[in-house]
Amino acid sequence: MRIRVFDTPKDAGIYAAALVEQIILQTDHAVLGLATGSTVIPLYEQLVRLHRNGLDMSHVRTINLDEYVGLPADHPQSYHNFMRTHLFQHVNIPAFHSYIPDGNAADLEQECARYDEVVRKHPLDMQILGIGVNGHIGFNEPDDLLLSKTHVVTLSEETIRSNARFFECADDVPRQAITLGVQAILQAKRIVLMAFGKEKADAVAKSIQGQVRTDVPASILQLHRDVTFVLDMDSASKLAGYGG
């Protein structure tokens, strides 16, 4: 496990983008696992900048972690729309090379099985992660048991409150989502987890310094052989050596 701490999210985004660029340049058919949310925006801004300065992404495939259940793809807060807005419409990744769960599928169980097959056919070279204030990765919420395969999850009240800032009110936040399971995440060859802000400091510390435990899902990353935590000073503030 590597820990990299930066002064600003922009600096962290530059570093994370350099890691992604390595994978793109060194892999014939790179497969990137992508996340959504405000934390990863600095990374996507830097990937767009790299593309505008010559980085070819036409051979890249992307597999997103999750999507809300019940939001159409064109909804302003859907993760389909997030990815279009912050990355896909600015780079040359072919549309048919990008996969996001269909939260409006008529049969959600079948959609989960379809998505597991996508990941099986296209193993992840790198998985980008954020982390919830409760330690979730993807939408794998704290629980007695972490599910290995793609599944429908009921979002915790903590996650709903955290995501309410993106909606007009908390009542508008979907209560369920489709998410990759922890098995697919751990099978990625490399993992980069990004976290910024004091509100993430406790989850980061428990994930890195605590025991592996299902009520802190990100702690399972301790079992992976190639993980980099990309942090700012606030999110690292409870780590030993960084203020903790």
**Residues with active-site annotation:** 66, 134, 136, 141
**Beta-ladder partners of 89:** none
The number of beta carbons lying within 10 Å of the beta carbon of residue 236 is: 25
Cβ pair 57, 24 in contact under 8 A: yes
The DSSP secondary-structure symbol of 156 reads P
Cβ pair 229, 1 in contact under 8 A: yes
- Both structure tokens of 168: 């007009």
The beta-strand segments (E) located in the chain are 2-6, 31-34, 61-64, 66-68, 98-99, 126-129, 151-154, 176-179, 190-195, 227-232
Residues 6+ apart with CB under 8 A from 64: 33, 34, 35, 36, 79, 83, 98, 99, 100, 101
- Measuring CA to CA, which residue among 37, 34, 4 is closest to residue 133? 37
- Both structure tokens of 201: 């400091």
Cα 118 to Cα 28, 208, 220: the distances in Å are 18, 30, 23
The Cα–Cα gap between 132 and 204 comes to 9
